[in-house]
Structure 1
Amino acid sequence: MSNAVINITNLRLRTFIGFNPEEMTKQQDVVINIEIHYPADKAMTNDDVEAALNYKVITKKVISHVEAGHFKLLEKLVSDVLDICSEHDWTEYARVTIDKPHALRFADSVSLSLEWRK
């Protein structure tokens, strides 16, 4: 069995993230990185679109959820995105890392990662 690894790199979105008064009323940038593993044998041999995991569908769900959401904690946001990435039956492993740029004064960003394995 051959596993494919899909990487969605630096998906830049805006959402409400944080629990400070200013963060609850002003959208902030987040940068999302996703890794999804799934068996790709049929897609590799048949060149059949239906045999491949559709990363565009997953990305659209992520965008819709993140942009419409209000999150106090990065942990909740990452967990929600991970749930979207792992909901397809073919997904065997998923990892999501979300960066919150400029969250700390002297750092480029703060990030949190979560993993899921079937």
Structure 2
Amino acid sequence: MNNAIITITNLRLRTYIGFNPEEQAKRQDVVLNIEIHYPGEKACLNDTVDDALNYKVITKAVIEHVENGRFLLLEKLVSDVLDICTDHSWVNYAKVTIDKPHALRFADSVSLSLSWSKPASQISD
């Protein structure tokens, strides 16, 4: 089985993230990095759009959720984005890392990562 890996790199969005009053009053930048694995053999052999996972649809759903949401914790934001990325039945692994630039005074950013793997018993060849 050929495992196709979609990588979305440095997707820059703005959202309400944090629990301090100033964080809840103003949108902040977040930077998303997403990796999604799915069986890509059919797409590689057939060159047929319907055999490929549509990353544009996933990205649009992520953008809508992040930009229209309010989150107290980075953990919740990352978890929500991971849920969106693993919604399609073909996905067998996904990892989401979200950076919150300027969250700490002397650091470029703070990031949190979560990953998900489909149980081996649910993966079909």
Tell me the TM-score normalised to structure 2 length. Answer: 0.94
Q: What is the distance in 2 between the residues matched to 1:41 and 1:32?
A: 27
Residue 40 of structure 1 deviates from its aligned partner by 0.4
Aligned to 2:92: 92
- For residue 52 of structure 1, what is the amino acid of its counterpart? A
Residue 61 of structure 1 deviates from its aligned partner by 0.2
Residue 62 of structure 1 deviates from its aligned partner by 0.2
Aligned to 2:122: none
Alignment of 1:38-77 (within 5 A): 38-77=38-77
Give the number of aligned pairs. 118
Q: Deviations over 1:40-71 (max 9, x none)?
A: 01100000000000000000000000000000
Aligned to 1:106: 106
Q: Can you give the 5+ residue segments of structure 2 that lack an aligned partner in the other structure?
A: 119-125
- For residue 103 of structure 2, what is the amino acid of its counterpart? A
- Runs of 4+ aligned residues of structure 1 deviating over 6 Å after TM superposition are none
Percent identity between matched residues is: 76
RMSD: 0.2
Q: What is the distance in 1 between the residues matched to 2:41 and 2:76?
A: 34
Q: What is the distance in 2 between the residues matched to 1:55 and 1:92?
A: 15
Tell me the TM-score normalised to structure 1 length. Answer: 1.00
Q: What is the distance in 1 between the residues matched to 2:47 and 2:63?
A: 28
Residue 4 of structure 1 deviates from its aligned partner by 0.4
Residue 94 of structure 1 deviates from its aligned partner by 0.1
Aligned to 1:9: 9
Residue 74 of structure 1 deviates from its aligned partner by 0.0
- For residue 42 of structure 2, what is the amino acid of its counterpart? K
Q: Can you give the 5+ residue segments of structure 1 that lack an aligned partner in the other structure?
A: none
